Amino acid sequence: MSLPIESLKSYFPIFTHRPELVYLDSAATSQKPSSVVQSITNFYEKENANVHRGLYELSSKATQRYEDVRNKVGSLIGANSTNIAFTKGTTESINIVAQCYLKKNLKAGDKVLISAMEHHANLIPWQQVCKQTGASLEIIPVNDQGELVLDGLKSLLAERTKLVAITHISNVLGTINPVEEIISAAHKINIPVLIDGAQSVGHMPVDVKKMDVDFLVFSSHKMFGPFGTGILYCKEEFTQQLDPFNYGGGSIKNVQFAETEFLDFPHNLEAGTTNIAGIIGLGTAIDFIQQLDLVETFNHERKLSAYFKERASTLAQIQFVGEPKNFNGIVSFLVKNIHPHDVA
């Protein structure tokens, strides 16, 4: 049985402490259910130890719980846990793919294809890796409705395109992009695709195998979990092609003064002590999400934004920015003649 949508607010302690709060910024970060907050406190109070470094009971238990979260992430997105790396968040996951996979495959004249509706996190890492290698960025345009213009996709997917990186849901417009169509077109000419799932995972069913995506990145803090933790899902055929991002302890098979042999993915990407308590909290956030009916949640978010649009459109001063046919709970609008900072 899934949790009833009408009672969900009571799971979030911020609304008990601030009964007057109307929180409209979930696209920036979601509020946290008390189970998530408690699991972090509980870990620090009763289970605190480092992972993958100790053979005593407390440390083995922490390692077990940490790896259980990897399994939970896998089950949330239909992936094997061995294809899931813990990172600091979406931004870091994208930087890893740019610097540790793409850079060595990019030459002058190559291209990276993104869209005009990307978050800075899914623009700047590609822009910079292009600058470093002499490659160039190609941009899929966006129309006035706030939808990707895919008519020219075939020609944009030129032979020299080495990666496509697209957001699943726009954090500004709420547009849900036809990612399966884009992935399938890219795969026809063997171009790998990264999908930015920061706004989709936890808000709707996402299945990496169904999507056939090569890299999926997302952040815990936008799906009821804590800050400072995120995910890089990597399809099996690319796991061997990702070099370490940070060098240090916990990522090593064998080390000598002259050489190091690294562990395989994902452990080669988790050097140093990661945000263990945050990852435990992410596991609890996934438990919370698993108690929701994600199709019902998704439909509810859509209903709320449709209701907002219906009511706000009766006000002459409100001008919506983009009205995509396929949208989620995010709405962008301007209030005529008033600066957005003043509206806020």
Q: Among residues 110 and 224, whose Cβ is nearest to ligand PMP? A: 224
Total residues contacting ligand PMP (rule CB under 6 A)?
A: 13
Q: Least distance in Å: CB of 166 to ligand PMP?
A: 10
Does residue number 229 form part of the binding site for ligand PMP (CB under 6 A)?
A: no
The Cβ-side half-sphere exposure at 76, using a 13 Å CA radius, reads 31
Q: Which stretch binds ligand PMP (CB under 6 A): 85-93, 150-158, 256-264, 335-343?
A: 85-93
Determine the Cα–Cα distance for residues 102 and 286; give it in Å rounded to an integer: 30
User: Is 122 a binder of ligand PMP (CB under 6 A)?
Assistant: yes
Say how far apart CA 197 and CA 176 lie, in whole Å: 11
- Residue type present at position 342: D
Q: Out of 38, 50, 99, 119, which residue is the one contacting ligand PMP (CB under 6 A)?
A: 119
Taking the complex as a whole, the smallest distance from the CB of residue 181 to ligand PMP amounts, in Å, to 19
- How far apart CA 25 and CA 20 sit, in angstroms, is 15
91 binds ligand PMP (CB under 6 A): yes
* CB within 8 Å of 144: residues ≥ 6 apart: 322
Among 167, 177, 251, 274, the residue binding ligand PMP under the rule CB under 6 A is 167
Can you tell me which of 30, 63, 90, 284 binds ligand PMP, judged by CB under 6 A? 90
Closer Cβ to ligand PMP, 118 or 270, answer by number = 118
H or E, element range at 312: helix 294-312
User: Where does this chain touch ligand PMP (CB under 6 A) — which range of 12-20, 195-203, 239-247, 254-262?
Assistant: 195-203
Residue 199 near ligand PMP by CB under 6 A: yes
Residue 55 Cβ vs ligand PMP, minimum distance, rounded to whole Å: 34
Binding segment for ligand PMP (CB under 6 A), chosen from 89-97, 255-263, 303-311, 329-337, is: 89-97
The reply on whether position 301 binds ligand PMP by CB under 6 A is no
Minimum gap (Å) between residue 300 Cβ and ligand PMP: 20
Angle at alpha carbon of residue 182, lines to 176 and 188, rounded to 5°? 165
Q: How far is the CB of 169 from ligand PMP (least distance, A)?
A: 7
- Alpha carbon distance, N-terminus to C-terminus of the chain: 39
Of 119, 113, 120, give the one whose Cα is nearest residue 137: 113
Using omega within 30 degrees of 0 as the cis cutoff, is the peptide bond preceding 266 cis? yes
What DSSP line would sit under 30-73, residue for residue?
----HHHHHHHHHIIIII---SSS--SHHHHHHHHHHHHHHHHH
Kindly tell me which of 30 and 199 has the beta carbon lying closer to ligand PMP. 199
Gyration radius of the chain's alpha carbons:
21
Separation of alpha carbons 225 and 216, rounded Å: 18
Closest CA to 218 of 274, 125, 263, 282: 282
- Residues that bind ligand PMP in the complex, under the rule CB under 6 A: 28, 89-91, 119, 121-122, 167, 171, 196, 198-199, 219
